[in-house]
Amino acid sequence: MGGVSMQRTVEVKSDGVYLSGEKFFLISGDFHYFRTLPGGWKRRLELMHDFGLTAVTTYVAWNLHEPKRGEFCFEGALDLPRFLQTAAETGLKVLLRCSPYMCAEWEMGGLPSWLLKDRQMCLRSCDPSFLEPLTEYTRILAEKIKPYLYTNGGPIILVAVENEYGSFGNDRRYLQLLSQLYRDCGLDVPFITANGPDPFQYHNGALPECWNGVNGSANPGFLKEMDLLKEYQPDKPLLVGEAWDGSIMSWGKQFTLNKGIEENEEYLRQALQMGAAVNFYMFCGGTNFGFMNGALAVDQKENYVPLTTSYDYDSPISEEGTPREKYFRLRDVLDSYRDLPKRAHIAPEYQAQNIGPVRITEYASFLDHAAILAERRVRRGRTVCMEDLDQDYGFIRYTTHIDYTDSRIRHLKIEEPADRACVYLNGKYAGCLMRDCPAPDIAFTVPPEGLELSILVENLGRINYGYRIYDRKGILGAVHVAIEAGKDRYVYNFANNTGFTIETLPLKSLDGLVYGLQKPENGLPVFCRARFRAQPGIDTFLDMKGWNKGIVFFNGFHLGRYWSVGPQRTLYVPGELVQEENIVEILELHYEARENEIRFLDHSILTEMPTNDYAFLKGKSGQDFII
């Protein structure tokens, strides 16, 4: 006699979450699949399961899955179905934060940069010009994730509608339309939201039909906000959308590991006693590979703050996927709450390798190869931004010729560089301007034959949070000069330079580079290449001590940025990238001849602040160009 299969359901009742009628103990943590290569997913998910978590939370990065309008990618490192299946096999349910926007200290908060080409578009709103591409993407995404819904036999039990929307806008109709779009696409599990606890944030970002949570620091002081949450939704259990157990990393600012453990412990102890469903953010650190780090613009004092390549976050599980003291201490709290025997603080075996020193043997000038590496090369009367030329990330170069008129001293002015502009006069380094920082004085005279002015601008990461998310890159204003007319006097001059050759340099590939053995001139941007042997499949960490600023490719994979301002000194190299024979290519923006070797370590260095004054953070002047 055949049995009748039970319908799989997910319900959020006043006392908790129920799966197919059985109460489910929900405690989860954020681990973003796109911040770790697929070979490292299982090891990290197993650590989360062993900790006692019952679910993993992940965002879905729209800008990775649709890098160009209508071109979708769910393969390789972006194989979301594979990640969902791996989570299920590990014994974890999934909270899927598939919002079009995710913040996450990620480039533009996960929104594709190509949205910025439409200057009239209102992001994250009912604007039809935003809803149209959003709907197209959501339908594609839904087809990928529907088989993994709990109702279809998969691990996804909850789906997020937007993220911290109450801190961005007040278009509640947009939230309703997004919610309905998810339903129309077949996402039939309960929806959740996450917002700050303030009434303004909560009411603008939450929907009555959703299970609405609040975000805040994982310390006991935040728990008083839970009483406010109970007033908002008395018919549902308490939900902590994000319990911040660490902190983000910014270039040029101190970062500390294993911070606030005692506060985290007491927070978890009290939150469990309150019956709250806690989601740790982050539970597992990761890496902003390539150009995917975001930036903040918090207030008038700190304006633009670019974030690091590492997204270790001081989370219980490190960037390289190893448990740290915070992991074991919080696990003790959870075990005690669940009346489980105390476990020894023993980490699974982890292997990493030291390599080197490795000598740099080959060089290629970036400026000389710009025409080869450029995705587009156009002529424009004025400077235009990356987005207007369909460029997403990387660098953009503006070149023009300044004719001789007289021998007076000129001072270069670049209005609104976004984000870091290196200036070259007749091929020599003249200085660097950094967004929202005092500009160095770049003074020069024009020789009788004229002068080539070249400006290389780096996109350091789009702002990922708040109303300044409309963060276009390149030179957004005019390029002009102030001409001396005597002591403390200047020519009355509002003329701007015109006639630019513009090259977009996203550096998606380094094909076409021709390396040589001759060392280049100091101060110029140079590709440096080295070849070396290593133990394949084993993690390592590239030590960038002694280098100034740039990016690194390892066997063709873009590891991310380095910068001597700290605190991050090493770049994580996942073992699945390491072969027996390897090639590393470094784009050093401020080459110095003494840099002729690199080393790989068996551990990370993420907390080192330089003791000397690295002027490259705010912009460093080169030699005088008064001829």
Catalytic residues: 164, 242
Query: Following DSSP, what letter does each residue of 343-400 receive, concatenated?
Result: ----PPP--B--EEEEE--EEEEHHHHHHHH-SEEEEESS---TGGGT--SSEEEEEE
Tokens of 313: 């976050």
Nearest-angstrom CA–CA distance, 216 and 271:
12
Nearest-angstrom CA–CA distance, 434 and 447:
27
SS3 per residue for 174-216: HHHHHHHHHHHCCCCCCEEEEECCCHHHHHHHCCCCCEEEEEE
User: Using an 8 Å Cβ cutoff, are 240 and 213 in contact?
Assistant: yes
Tokens of 552: 């690194």
Nearest-angstrom CA–CA distance, 97 and 241:
10
Q: How many CB atoms lie within 10 A of CB 71?
A: 8
Q: How many CB atoms lie within 10 A of CB 535?
A: 13
DSSP state, residue 574: -
Cα–chain-centroid distance for residue 15?
Answer: 36
Nearest-angstrom CA–CA distance, 524 and 590:
5
User: Using an 8 Å Cβ cutoff, are 469 and 338 in contact?
Assistant: no
